[in-house]
A and B are shown apart, each in its own frame.
Chain A
Amino acid sequence: MRVRIDSEKCQGHGRCYDLAPELFGDDEEGFGQVLGDGKVTPDTENQARLAVANCPERAIELIEES
């Protein structure tokens, strides 16, 4: 699985980089950024789900890779 941010929806609330700091960071204006390739490991899966569930703008997706 990978995480993805819809930058059209993101408003920089920062819940993703608060809750899942291994998967997300912020840019110079505070908008969320996916770190690296956004690949979710078993260790970061819970963080990823929290980030998705707490984004006020519903801007984060977990994408299942085939």
Chain B
Amino acid sequence: MAVDERFARDFEDSAEEQVLGTRNEIITGPVSDWSTDFSHLEPEWAADPYPIQDDLRQRCPIAHTDRFGGGWLPVRYEDVAAVAYDTDRFSSRSIIMGNFRPPRDIAPIGGSPPISSDPPFHHDARKLLLPAFTKTAVTRQEPATRAYCHALIDAFDGQDVVDAAADYAQHIPMRVIADMMGFPPEDGPQFRRFVENTLEGVNLQPEERIERMQALFEYILDQVHDHLDNPRDDLTTYLINAELYGSKLTADHVTGAMVLLLIAGIDTSWSAIGSSLWHLAKTPADRERLMADRGLLPTAMEEFLRAYAPVTMARLVKDDMHWHGVDMKADDWILLSFPAANRDPAQFDRAAEVVIDREVNRHAAFGLGIHRCLGSHLARMELRVALEVWLDRIPEFSLADPGAVTWSAGQIRGPRTLPLRIG
């Protein structure tokens, strides 16, 4: 068995100790007023956040909540962009808004670099990963992705109604990221649990949340040890061997980055593929137009990314300050809603409509500034291939039961149940 002292038993023990930080009371239940008591974890937000955001944009436009220990929700493009660009005043040391704030001294590295990192460390941690995620690099995954999409549709054989979220969309990014990381492809169902625990388990009791997060770190450590014993050409071996400032990465950096790549790569693309199919299933005119003019797909895809942007990020305010008309306190959350920015009429004509031939579309679905989604080229490849294969194989489809469609709660939004009639 290969030995790498960084990942020895005492690292595992220390990783299992809960890090210092602050916890606040968990508050759940119906929202009284979205401008003073918002929560992205309530069912109303999950079902349809856009009317809420549109209303706030008219009357607020930076909402507040006392939940999660206090936080703010800007809904104008201008404010969302200003937060994204201002890494001096807003920290990424936690990017999941919940009831736990990691200690301040975890910055500028954070728990899952580079998404949790601030400058100057952020730049160097990100630089390590950029070459693996360029458009050219991810093109190498395209043939396998296409073949896998076909295999998923082959498995629909004989069914009139299929769940396009559970039986198609979710599997595509899981398989692609498992291949890139060098994880066993059959581990997909575990990934789903990890993703749901991390992103949707925000309001669980601390003990349960910690226990579930530990299961994820144990899985990642098992994969590290497997790669130490059998190094291979994948991102896990790459991270184990990568160097920064003349030495190998710390164990926390390696495992944190692996957690990031696994979690961030799945829920997001799954949501984008699902939302696009949901839109086409309920909008026959757009589906027919795309079938008649397949060259429109790249443009339509960007519009789906704008209108149904899956990803909302979070930041923590560094110091007390008066900012864009509100008094922010140190360690207040900012819920950084790229979906809300993407529907701001001050930035987009016909912002509330889905216009599949929208040629000018400066949307922020993949974020703005230094934290631009590392996997954006991979996500676009997965979304394009998933839609191309679906449209080739299943040109006619519709919502089998609109009331049965369910959406994920929290910062990543997309369909989790999507029954489509394909017969």
Residues on the B chain within 8 Å of A50, using CB: 359-360
- The interface size of chain B toward A, counting residues with CB under 8 Å, comes to 22
Other-chain contact of B134, A18, A30, A55 (Cβ < 8 Å): A30
Q: Is the CB of A14 within 8 A of B362?
A: no
Q: State how many angstroms separate the Cβ of A16 from the closest Cβ of chain B.
A: 11
Other-chain contact of B127, A29, A53, A57 (Cβ < 8 Å): A29
Q: Is the CB of B370 within 8 A of A11?
A: yes
Contact with A along B349-379 (1 / 0, CB 8 A): 0000000000111111010111010001100
A11-B374 Cα distance, complex, nearest whole Å? 10
Q: Is the CB of B136 within 8 A of A26?
A: yes
B206 contacts the other chain (Cβ, under 8 Å)? no
Other-chain contact of A12, B130, B298, B362, B368 (Cβ < 8 Å): B130
Residues on the A chain within 8 Å of B376, using CB: 13-14
B133 contacts the other chain (Cβ, under 8 Å)? yes
Q: State how many angstroms separate the Cβ of A54 from the closest Cβ of chain B.
A: 6
B131 contacts the other chain (Cβ, under 8 Å)? yes
Q: Is the CB of B298 within 8 A of A18?
A: yes
Subset of 28 A-B contacts with CB under 8 Å: A11-B368, A11-B369, A11-B370, A11-B372, A12-B130, A12-B134, A12-B372, A13-B372, A13-B376, A14-B135, A18-B135, A18-B298, A28-B131, A28-B134, A29-B127, A29-B134, A30-B134, A30-B135, A30-B377, A50-B359, A50-B360, A53-B359, A53-B360, A54-B302, A56-B363, A56-B372, A57-B368, A58-B362
Interface residues of B (CB under 8 A from A): 127, 130-131, 133-136, 298, 302, 359-364, 366, 368-370, 372, 376-377
Other contacts beyond A14-B377, A50-B359, A54-B302: 19, CB < 8 A: A11-B372, A12-B130, A12-B134, A13-B372, A14-B135, A14-B376, A18-B135, A26-B134, A26-B136, A28-B134, A29-B134, A30-B133, A30-B134, A50-B360, A54-B360, A54-B361, A56-B366, A56-B368, A57-B369
